[in-house]
Amino acid sequence: MKIKTGIAFGDHIKTEKIFRRKYIERENYSLRGFFLIFILLVGVGILGFQLLNLQVVKGAYYRNLSDSNRIRTKIIFAPRGILFDRNNTPLVINAPGYRRIVGEKTNLVSRDKALDGIANGDDSILIDSMRSYPYKESFSHVLGYVGQITKEELESDRYAEYLITDWVGKTGLEWQYEPFLKGINGKQLVEVDASGKEIRVLGQTDAVAGNNITLTLDAKLQDAAYRAMENNPKGAVIISNPQGEILTLISKPSFDPNLFTLDESYKASESGYQSAGEIVTDGVNLPLLDRAISGVYPPASTFKIVTSAAGLNTGLIDEKYVVEDTGVVRVGEFSFANWFYTQYGRTDGEVNVVKALARSNDIFYYILAGKIGVDRISETASQMGVGKKLGIDLAGEAAGILPTKKWKISQIGEQWYLGDNYHYGIGQGYLLSTPLQVNAWTSAIGNKGKIYSPHLVKDSKPQLVADSKLTDKTVNLIRQGMIDACRNGGTAYPLFDFAVENSTLKADGKNIIDVKESSGSAKVGMKKITIACKTGTAEHGGEDTAPHAWITLLAPAYDPEIIVTVLAEERGEGSAEAAPVAKKILEEWFERKK
């Protein structure tokens, strides 16, 4: 059967489909439009919030950040104070130099490399005032050197206001007077463009230079003493005046401090060390050790000055006390010989304290030390600065060892024997002293027992650090023995009849004497200087080890101007090795004296 749809039915179906399609399309269009508007509103909201956050909430932060991108702060490094000798000769120089900051490390840069870097826009290169040491090796230990500050140093109170890029004194006077020598850095505000190129200077705070210091050191004397030690690879020289002013302080082996402060283009001219690394890593020769104040040695016969003082000042002996030199003293199975007998098979006969000092007679001091006893010797020695720090204004001073009965029991675990007395009396055994201490007890003979604190800054008031209250008689007898040691028949033969050519020296017949010609008339310009000295030959180590050579002296003898102490480490006899050095020093001092 065939059915016809009819007009109404067919039209209805057709119309419904069309209407439904239009309704769906209209609904989809409305949803898409609403979604797009929502997204737009959310985006605008986010942008608005971010804009509010940038301009209001964090506006100040970003403004500062923007300023820092176009404004930079450059440090203007302050030059360190200058160290002058007593005659106003500069001992250090502040020379223009360059360095590059890499992280927290400062690297020195040569002039050529620095200029190339600056021309190519390298803003890590800084212009600084670098420390230079014109006297190089001769002043290295006393002046010291500078280097970049370490993190450990920054954590200490001493460097509370320092920066990681700062250079500070590491040793010597550079370290000792660091707070005084360091200046105050300045600042410069510079505007730069987007590429970092400087446009203009916006402001500047000038650097303030460090304070200058005038020292007690004598540059010419120090240099002469260093040259006099040229044949001694190890040793020390101390020269002072009776008020404790240090005129010369030398330690060998030395080093060139410029290797620590100048760039890689610098080459050391004298020292065997060609880099700072070689200096620091030499564990055999120890060039950084200041032997003048930190090295401890048996003082040998220079200590006979102290042993003599102990006997005389306590009244146990006087000038009439005599010992017969037998060449050898025996105690049980042990024997103690005199050097004169050991080397030449001879003896000195009857010996009093004056002759004992002049001849450095060991037999006399064996017997005397046994008579005095260890504790009374040590008491006098302590009063003459032995076994204690004297307070020099340099870091690293050693106290040495001043033995007593109690000391030996606590440190060695043994009682004190008579043989220990014998060794102690001639400056051997357990006794250890620094060259600075030897110089100090020598000065006591010129100061009636008083010892002033050794110091390196000029115009410092002398500080009394020890006083053995030596009597006039004690001083006169010891001084006479030391004078005779520098005359014919004494031990210091290089100083026999010591004279210089200097017509400006006024002869007084005691300290300074006109030299007579064969005719009996005074030789023009030649003056004989009376010297009071004591040599020493310090045994140490094994039989194959050369002894340390010592000499210590007062010049002139009766009214001393300088006290000279020389140590030639492992060189032999004091008269042969140390005395010639002292002679050159005395020539320098008295030939130019006016």
pLDDT tens digits along 498-520: 999 999 999 999 999 999 886 67
**Strand pairing partners for 563?**
240, 554
Verify that 430 and 535 share a domain, yes or no.
yes
Q: Which two tokens stand for residue 380?
A: 């006098």
pLDDT at 142 over 80: yes
pLDDT at 168: 95
Chosen domain end from 214, 229, 256:
214
Would you call 204 helix, strand, or coil by DSSP? strand
What is the number of helices (H) and of strands (E) in the chain? Answer: 20, 24
Answer for the pair 298, 538: CB distance below 8 angstroms, yes or no: yes
**What's the average model confidence in pLDDT over 71-99?**
89
Q: Are residues 204 and 340 in the same domain?
A: no
389 shares its domain with 525: yes
Q: Do 310 and 209 fall into the same domain?
A: no
Assigned domain for 259 exists: no
The answer for residues whose C-beta is within 8 angstroms of residue 498's C-beta and 6 or more apart is 486, 528, 529, 531, 583, 586
Tell me the mean pLDDT in the region 229-236. Answer: 96
Residues 200 and 304 in one domain: no
According to the model, what pLDDT value does residue 457 have? 97
Q: Answer yes or no: do 428 and 563 share one domain.
A: yes
Q: Cite the beta strand spans of 293-333 per DSSP E.
A: 323-324, 328-331
In this structure, the answer to whether residues 438 and 567 fall within a common structural domain is yes
Q: What CATH code is carried by the domain that includes residue 128?
A: 3.90.1310.10
Evaluate whether residue 549 is within a structural domain. Answer: yes
Nearest partner of 295 among 570, 533, 577, 552, judged by Cα: 570
Are 133 and 143 within 8 A, CB to CB?
yes
Range of the domain at 398: 300-591
Q: In total, how many domains does the chain have?
A: 2
Considering the domain architecture, whether residues 194 and 336 belong to the same structural domain is answered as no
Q: Which residues pair with 169 in a beta bridge?
A: 146
Report the CATH number at residue 312.
3.40.710.10
Given a cut of 80, is residue 60 above it in pLDDT?
A: no
3-state secondary structure (DSSP) of residue 92: coil
pLDDT score at 2: 44
Residue range 343-399, pLDDT digits in tens: 999 999 999 999 999 999 999 999 999 999 999 999 999 999 999 999 999 999 999
The answer to whether residue 94 sits within a structural domain is yes
Contacts of 185 (CB under 8 A, 6+ apart): 75, 76, 77, 78, 163, 207
Would you call 493 helix, strand, or coil by DSSP?
A: helix
Lowest mean pLDDT among 94-98, 283-287, 336-340, 541-545: 94-98
Q: Is the pLDDT of residue 21 over 80?
A: no
Residue 5 lies in a domain: no
Between 7-21, 24-38, 444-458, 476-490, the lowest mean confidence (pLDDT) is in: 7-21
Spell out the SS3 assignment of 210-256.
Answer: CCCEEECCCHHHHHHHHHHCCCCCCEEEEEECCCCEEEEEEEECCCC
Same domain, 204 and 310: no
From 157, 189, 214, give the residue that closes a domain.
Answer: 214
Nearest to 550 by CA among 310, 346, 304: 304
Whether residue 278 lies inside any domain: the answer is no
- Compute the mean pLDDT over every residue in the chain, rounded to the nearest whole number: 89
Q: Are residues 478 and 381 in the same domain?
A: yes
- The Cα–Cα gap between 350 and 359 comes to 12
Q: Is 498 inside any structural domain?
A: yes
Domain boundary among 196, 214, 232: 214
Predicted TM-score (pTM) of this structure: 0.86
Please tell me whether residues 170 and 312 are part of one structural domain. no
